[in-house]
A and B are shown apart, each in its own frame.
Chain A
Amino acid sequence: MTDAIVQGILLGGLYALFAAGLAIVFGVMKIVNLAHGDFIILSAYLTLVAVELTSLNPMVTVALIAAIMGIFGYALQRGILNFTLGSGILPPLVVTFGLSIIIQNVLLEVFSADTQGLDAGALELSSMSLPFGIAVGWFPFLTFLLAIAVLGGLQLVIGHTKMGRSFRAVSDDEETASLMGVRTRHVFGMAMAIALVVTAIGGVVLGIRTQFDPALGPARLIYAFETVIIGGLGSLWGTLVGGVVLGVAQNVGAYFSPGWRELAGHLVFLIVLAWRPSGLFGRNGE
């Protein structure tokens, strides 16, 4: 049981990586990105290709994959998603839903439905021993640290840079931001780029942790959603807590019966939603 909780906490780091990108896109553009989970899986497949071409350790390719996804994100926002904005929530929903289907089918076409995995070598298998007979894998532990570092970096960018200020200003009041000379369409592009950089990191980690196939995206989207809602919108560190709550719930559920993994996560999510609709760290009234 203790072991399940510890593993769940570490899994929360990965969920926070999934969720942060979703939260940024919603926070700045008010887009609910239904293709978010597929971007995670796409990143894992890109890593697969990069590893095959370079035979580097997948963790080494993270920077490359993150850069590719970031550029892809900017182009996607400027080229497609910006045109869906301004007439309600439906157009971006429909377009990202379409993107989700396209990505899944392209991956299916190119890579087939076979499950794939990324091999990070010894890093994946080694573990350290903690008191009370708990063994913690180095990789989940490093993932958790990575999540903290990524969230800390995001916090710095959003809280203390000119670009971060423009994200928050545009999120508050797009029209007034334009009076300050802010090019909203560019800011949206940058926000999507940063969101997909974080998402790519999550995707690489996912690919190392577990087997993946082209149909895995939507379930990752649900986890990311649940993490954001549990943590509370508008709070980056909240997504870490949200991820931990979800990860612990899933692992404790699985401890009692493997079939309860997902169910326990969903139940905890529903309980938090009913008890605190704005999430554990959300700003009230928003």
Chain B
Amino acid sequence: MPDILEIRGLDAFYGSFQALFETSLTVAEGEIVAVIGANGAGKSTLLRSISGWLGSAPDQILFDGEPIGGHRAESVATLGVVMVPEGRRIFRSLSVEENLMMGGYTGRTGTWDLDRVYDLFPVLGERRLTPGTRLSGGQQQMLAIGRGLMANPRVLLLDEISLGLAPIVVKELYRVIPTLREDGMAVLLVEQDVRQATATADRIYCLLRGRVSLEAPADEVDHSDLIAAYFGVRDE
């Protein structure tokens, strides 16, 4: 499968602080890629750069071979690279259904619509008229994912969807990710939970202090290599 997303030597900055150093990464069509790493390793920075929230040089981020680095977030979304942001960020003045409809704002067509999201997460359909922020944490995360899917993305970026949720809820959320592949959607997810990430993804990248410290197919990851890549010290 050709690469739908390619990150080439990405440097990312918050003011004068550099958070990513020459990071390179690829995601193929229909591939699920997980980025793991400790707090502050640069995982969220990577997604913020791709989504357009954070500036970057044009040819450091390629979508379908076209440079999109430094594009505004709204044009990145319109192209079909859609981020589910960390912390869910549900619109509090909007009902569950209106939140989902905002997800479809770009008018991109595809297989995802309200009915299909409600099939995937029936609880959202049951509570569709409830204000979005009235839902439980796990349901809000379902809503955030559903909202992302409503855009019919070609690449879905998931930022720490398990954060602060009970293990059983996390399992429920991760259940849906393999089904996305069937649509040919590519998924790039950032996760702190290494076990969850390796269980879900085809390939993983580990970030350490803003640099890629490991890249491997998820089912071939060597445990001690991973620990070394994650913490930066080799466990002898």
Which A residues are closer than 8 A to B by beta carbons? Answer: 162, 165-166, 168-169, 171-173, 175-184
Contacts and interface: CB of A to CB of B under 8 A. Distances in A.
Q: 9 tightest CB-CB pairs across the interface, nearest first?
A: A181-B106, A178-B73, A181-B77, A176-B89, A168-B93, A180-B105, A172-B91, A181-B78, A169-B91
B46 to A, nearest CB: 15
Contact of A175 (B53, B82, B98): B53
Given A165-B98, A168-B94, A169-B94, A180 B106 contact: yes
A122 to B, nearest CB: 45
Contacts of A176: 85, 89, 91
Contacts of B147: 180
A44 B111 CA distance: 51
B80 to A, nearest CB: 10
B72 A179 contact: no
A181 B78 CA distance: 6
B91 A182 contact: no
B52 interface: yes
Interface residues of B, number: 25
B74 interface: yes
Nearest to A283: B93
A214 B93 CA distance: 39
Given A179-B82, A179-B85, A165 B72 contact: no
Given A180-B147, A180-B151, A173 B105 contact: no
A182 B105 contact: yes
Interface in B73-109: 73-75, 77-78, 82-83, 85, 89, 91-94, 98, 101-103, 105-106
B106 to A, nearest CB: 4
Given A168-B94, A169-B94, A178 B72 contact: yes
Given A165-B102, A173-B89, A180 B77 contact: yes
Contact of B105 (A168, A172, A181): A181
Contact of A171 (B75, B82, B93, B98): B93
Nearest to A172: B91
A169 B72 contact: no
Interface of B: 51-53, 72-75, 77-78, 82-83, 85, 89, 91-94, 98, 101-103, 105-106, 147, 151
Given A165-B102, A166-B105, A169-B102, A178 B77 contact: yes
11 contacts: A166-B102, A166-B105, A168-B91, A169-B93, A169-B94, A178-B52, A180-B77, A180-B103, A180-B105, A181-B78, A183-B74
Given A168-B91, A168-B94, A171-B93, A177 B52 contact: no
Given A178-B77, A179-B73, A181-B78, A172 B85 contact: no
A183 B74 CA distance: 6
Given A175-B53, A179-B73, A180-B147, 20 more contacts: A165-B102, A169-B94, A171-B93, A172-B93, A173-B91, A175-B73, A176-B91, A177-B91, A178-B52, A178-B77, A179-B51, A179-B53, A179-B77, A180-B77, A180-B102, A180-B105, A181-B74, A181-B75, A181-B78, A183-B74
A216 to B, nearest CB: 35
A182 B105 CA distance: 7
A179 B83 contact: yes
A123 to B, nearest CB: 39
A214 B73 CA distance: 43
B125 to A, nearest CB: 19
Contacts of A173: 89, 91
Contacts of A168: 91, 93-94, 98
A271 B103 CA distance: 43
Contacts of A177: 91, 102
